[in-house]
Amino acid sequence: PLLLVSLLCSSGLLSAQDESGNITIQDEKDEYRFVKGDRTNPVWIRQDMNTVYYCNSYRTNLTVAEFYSDKVQINDVDIRVNGDKVRGFTPRDEYYSVDGIFFSDSRVNYFTLPLEKKGTTSTVRYQKTYLDPRYFTNIFFQEPYAIDKKTVTLVIPSWMKAEIKEYNFKGFSINFFFNDTGAAEIYTYTL
C-alpha cells in the first residue's frame, strides 16, 4: 500500500492564539506508527500524543478536546497534574454538534484540565488508532497556544510505502532526522 502524508506549517497558525499568554505548551510529542490491521483495513496508524501544558501566571481551567469518528478510535486518555494522576477523571464523549445541530458522524472526547496556579504542569496523553489510512492524510504543527517544543515522529515499517510531503516549512526552525533500522524508516521532525 502507498500512502501520502502531508506535514503542514503556517505562520499564522503557529503563533499563540491564547491572547492572555497564560498557557504554554512546554513539550508535545506526536508519534504515528504504521501497523498491520485486519482484513477490511490491512494498515492501521497508531498515534501516541503526549502534551505538557504549563501555567505561566494565574489559575485557569483548559478544555482539551480530541475529535474522532467510526474510522478513528480513541484507545486511551490519561491526564496528570504536576506528575500525579487526577482522581475522579472521566472524559466526556459525545457527537460533535454546534448549537445542537449535528453536522456529521464526528465525535469529540473532551475534559477540563486544571492548571491550579502559576508553575503548574499538566500532561495529557491520547492514544488513537486510524482504522483506515485514507483518513490519515495531514499532520499539522500548529497548536492554540505558544509552543516551546514539538516533535512529530513517523515510524514506517519496511513493508509499507509512504510518501511524505512537507508544506510551508520555509521560515521555521524545523530539524529533521532520518533513521533506517531495516525493519522501519523513522522520520523525526522537531520544531
Q: What is the pLDDT of residues 4-18, one digit of tens each?
A: 666 666 544 444 356
| Rounded distance between C-alpha atoms, residue 123 and residue 142, angstroms | 18
Using a 10 angstrom Cβ sphere, with 0-12 exposed, 13-18 middle and 19 or more buried, the burial of residue 12 is exposed
pLDDT category at 171 given cuts 50, 70, 90 is confident
Strands 101-115 and 60-68: antiparallel
| Rounded distance between C-alpha atoms, residue 99 and residue 101, angstroms | 6
pLDDT category at 19 given cuts 50, 70, 90 is low
Q: Do 51 and 28 contact (CB within 8 A), yes or no?
A: yes
pLDDT, residue 11, reads 47
Looking at every residue in the chain, the average pLDDT score rounds to 84
Lowest mean pLDDT among 11-20, 101-110, 156-165, 178-187: 11-20
pLDDT, residue 88, reads 78
101 or 169: whose pLDDT is higher? 169
Exposure of 186 in the CB half-sphere (CA atoms within 13 A):
11
Mean pLDDT to the nearest integer, 49-63: 90
Q: Do 50 and 28 contact (CB within 8 A), yes or no?
A: yes
